[in-house]
Amino acid sequence: MPPFRLALAQIDVIVGDVRGNLDRVRSALAALEPLAPDLVAFPELAITGYPPEDLLLKRSFLDEAREAVEALAREVGETIVVIGFPERVADVYNAAAVLRHGRVRHVYRKRYLPNYGVFDENRYFQRGDSIPVYRLGELTLAVNICEDIWYPGEPLTAQALEGDAQLAVNLSASPYHAGKGQERERMIATRAEDNALVVGYCNLVGGQDELVFDGQSLIVDENGALIARGAAFGEDMVVADVRLARVVEERLRDPRRRKVREPDRTALEVERVDLGERRSEARPPLPVRPPIPEPPIAASGQSTEILAALTLGLGDYFRKNGFHEACLGVSGGIDSAVTAAIAARALGEDRVHGYYLPSRYSSEISRRGARSLCANLGIRLMEIGIDPILDAYLEILRPTFEDRAPDATEENLQARIRGNLLMAFSNKFGWLVLAPGNKSEMSVGYSTLYGDMVGGFAILKDLLKTRVYELAGEINREAGRDVIPRETIERAPTAELRPGQKDTDTLPPYDVLDPILEAYVERDLAPAEIAGLGFPEETVRWVIEAVDRSEYKRRQAPPGLKITTRAFGKDRRMPITNRFRG
């Protein structure tokens, strides 16, 4: 039995751009055509992009997606093409079209519809009600979609053990969080070994609103050994010759094959679909692919991986939404420094505009930090003092405030003046304002509505403050020099809205605050459980109360990229009006 040539087209598509996505698919097929693959797989919902959300409620959108699949099918010859699309029949399904010889030969419908975290598939889709396999000459192939392979058992086990499939192709749109690639690879290897078949896992890549898809498509053999891995955070064509005869030999030694199968082994009968005979023409040898690199997290830790995810997510947000340039306030602090550095990586230094907006409380160390950072990054920095505007505000408000002592009101005025100026630049020049806020600050409300929360995108929204410092170190390590000034990294965090102010005047130290936030926000631990980890009960209570009462602020924050297992927004949906404590 000659090797089976499998290709995984790991592409970056745009939600709603059905015609543009179809062109991207055609380009990928044209690039792969000289290699004459037996099968080319594209990601989940590649025709429409993922997740299309309430576009799925529009009949015209679903009809356009179907028309695109039919048009593509007419162009397909000997190579089998498997591509994700939303299928509208009596209901709507998350589906994979199997194309060959000029037509749609079959449609697989996703069995498991995730409805947790960022997923809402039960809102849009009906569950598939069949388990097909595909005959190709002497071979049997299986197709399934994303969540279908995350669970042991059907449909994969039925496809392998009942349907005798030697190869399973999984179309996926698996959103990134730190460490997800390794978790996914272990799971795929386990499924391949448990079911004694080769698995080709084709994952989406690119940024979509608050989600990043990391690619890292996989081909794994019947023993769980890695054959090929796609690029992380970039488009790739993963092609390998897999020897499916070895799967047959492996199964001859598999005792499960010799057991009597129970009639109710699976709730559904396996459906067998004939795709015809295998292509017979000679094929060129595959070009030598470089050795499989270690994934980013294994190579140099999560900071490298996160930095790549943020760069891709920001770049795609701009490219896909028609934004061209960004501006931000560069304060001389760590958050704006890391935000500016990532923006320069993602967009190019000539498309990032920095503004230093000092008040009477801004220090010389902040001015030095802002100037050094922008010089190191090669981005333009403008300095505009805000004291004249602040004085005007205070004079206008003086009769109303009467003899009340200064407090956070006057501090917040400074942040709001800065936000107002940045939005003016945005309106005048068409730039998108980048908000520098991090997850620690957003969690406990240590941020100003219409002030430092102003912006169209918040790169660090899902990163705790301690992680921001780690990213600063990674940026400098990758550059081989202190792009982010050492003085900025080593200084005590401060908002500089009053004399001598430090974050620890209001907040616990970040090395205490962040683990409490991680336990409460990302793991849902109760106050007593968090205190049991060794944190002072009074501090734990303060943090939790601050998180709960700041929900209304977070609802008004700009979108930002999901990096952890539990980001604010779709991942964590809490009522604003909420009296539960504990």
SS3 (DSSP) at 533: coil
**How many C-beta atoms surround the C-beta of residue 573 within 10 A?**
8
Token pair 């290709």 is found at 7
Which of 44, 210, 222, 305 is catalytic? The answer is 44
Nearest residue to 63 (alpha-carbon basis) of 24, 92, 105, 96: 92
Degrees to nearest 5, angle at CA 41 with 36 and 47: 120
3-state helix, strand, coil in the chain (%, to 5): 40, 20, 40
Q: Which residue in 320, 562, 351, 555 sits closest to 460, CA to CA? A: 562
> H helices of 356-481, where?
364-377, 387-401, 408-429, 439-444, 465-479
Q: SS3 of 399, please?
A: helix
CA gap 243, 228 in Å, rounded: 14
- β-bridge pairing 80-88 and 39-41: parallel
Q: Parallel, antiparallel, or unpaired: how do β-strands 205-208 and 211-214 relate?
A: antiparallel
Q: Give the separation between CA 250 and CA 538, rounded to whole angstroms.
A: 60
Half-sphere exposure of 235 (CA within 13 A, CB side): 11
CB 129 within 8 A of CB 109: yes
| Residue 44 a catalytic site member | yes
User: Is the bond preceding residue 388 a cis peptide, omega within 30 degrees?
Assistant: no
397 — phi, psi (to 5°)? -85, -15
The phi, psi pair for 38, rounded to 5°, reads -75, -35
Nearest one of 547, 489, 491, 494 to 516, comparing CA atoms = 547
Count Cα neighbours of 190 within 13 Å in the Cβ-side half-sphere: 11
**Tokens matching residue 431:** 């730039």
Nearest to 557 by CA among 465, 468, 447: 447
Choice among 146, 202, 327, 374 that is catalytic: 146
Q: Which of 87, 110, 162, 327 is catalytic?
A: 110
CA 263 – CA 266 distance, rounded (Å): 8
How large is the angle between the packed helices 387-401 and 408-429, nearest 10 degrees?
A: 130
Record the tokens describing residue 126, joined without a space: 């009906």
Q: How far is CA 183 from the centre of its chain?
A: 15
Query: How many Cβ atoms sit within 10 Å of the Cβ of residue 570?
Result: 16
Residue matched to tokens 């994934």: 295
Q: Which long-range contacts (CB under 8 A, 24 or more apart) does 30-33 make?
A: 31/237, 32/7, 32/79, 32/237, 32/239, 33/79
Q: Which residues are catalytic?
A: 44, 110, 146
